[in-house]
Amino acid sequence: MNAMVLSRPADVNTSPLQARDVPVPQPGPGEVLVRLTVCGICRTDLHVIEGELARPKLPLIPGHQAVGVISRVGPGVTGRTAGERVGIAWLQGTCGRCEFCTSGRENLCPGARFTGYQRDGGYAEYAVVPALFAYPIPPVFADEEAAPLLCAGIIGYRALRLSGIQPGQRLGLYGFGASAHIAIQIARHRGCDIYVCSLKPEHQALARELGARWVGGASDPPPVPLHGSIIFAPAGELVPPALRALERGGTLALAGIHMSPIPALDYDREVFGERVIRSVTANTRQDGLDLLREAAAIPIRPRTKQFPLAEANRALQALKAGSIRGAGVLTIP
């Protein structure tokens, strides 16, 4: 099968992914083989490919927002059939026994395994995934619309939960890429007023198009205190101004898997008043199921820019440059 393969971490501007013909993976017990049609690109892919996330499986097929059709089921699989359209997300396995797995917090499992990091992912014609971690895709979404929901959507959804934002309140979004452009649609549907801080003019324009009440620069102070905020940009320097912009008792959710160092905080200006900082760590399967159900009911419409699989390096370079309006998606012939 055709696949884009990483042999060693390197700057994406050096085009480190190589097109290769590799064997089609075989589903083991409890797994399904999926014939892929699309795979979203994600900032986490950049962190893996450029070595900011340590010790990836090598060689590696990246990608963890893949959509396709089950072509074969492995031994012992029930509840999944050939021909079913499914999605593959970042979380691909947990131990099922630790205190986190048994308390509804499987995203914190120390033995968790991740797609496109510790197991080959979706920059290929086929991928294998445990049947329990394959998400049924609602029919309202085309494949290219569904792909960014599987990470950008799920993480934005979990970040909304952890921010504590309630319907009708004021929500801040820092950075306006793939995840934020989905989160704003959910929050707007819940009646929230959205205040967006973003560096790129094209991202600012998309935020206005999607209903933001106010749009400013990357660290500009919003005109009113915010009840909750989410930082999607991997920029630790945004944490102090985002905390200053919070109402007392507000929560700042950090949605990135990797972030540059956070500067020293001034207790009186940025923390006092029971302001809370929470990180967002992966997702549970329930997060994914809940997101797909609510997104389909709205329905939200992810904005995508498509690239052929063979141009994965160019797509990632565009992602790093911030030139993609919405979400980038690789199409797989």
Write out pLDDT tens, residues 160-208.
Answer: 999 999 999 999 999 999 999 999 999 999 999 999 999 999 999 999 9
Q: Could you give the domains of the chain? A: 2-150+303-331 (3.90.180.10), 153-279 (3.40.50.720)
- Distance (Å, rounded) from C-alpha 290 to C-alpha 77? 23
| Share of residues in the chain with pLDDT > 90 (%) | 99
Per-residue pLDDT at 216: 97
Mean pLDDT of the chain: 97
Measured CA to CA, the distance from residue 4 to residue 125 in angstroms comes to 10
Half-sphere exposure of 89 (CA within 13 A, CB side): 29
Distances (CA, A) of 253 to 141, 174, 212: 28, 10, 19
Characterize the bridge pairing of strands 31-40 and 126-130.
Answer: antiparallel
What are 217-263's pLDDT values in tens digits? 999 999 999 999 999 999 999 999 999 999 999 999 999 999 999 99
pLDDT, residue 47, reads 96
CB–CB of 122/64 below 8 Å? yes
Calculate ∠ Cα 43-47-53, nearest 5°.
Answer: 140
Closest CA to 281 of 154, 179, 124, 99: 154
CA–CA separation, 234 vs 218, rounded Å?
12
> What is the average pLDDT across 137-143?
98
User: 217, 193 in Cβ contact below 8 A?
Assistant: no
What is the three-class DSSP state of 208? helix
Q: Which pLDDT does position 281 carry in this prediction?
A: 95
pLDDT at 39: 98
Please, which residues bridge with residue 94 across strands? none
Helix orientation angle between 201-209 and 178-189, rounded to the nearest 10 degrees: 20
Of 150, 166, 199, residue with least CA distance to 41: 150
pLDDT in tens, 78-125: 989 999 999 999 999 999 999 999 999 999 999 999 999 999 999 999
Tens of pLDDT along 21-51? 999 999 999 999 999 999 999 999 999 999 9
Question: From the CB of residue 236, how many other CB atoms can be counted at a distance below 10 Å?
Answer: 15
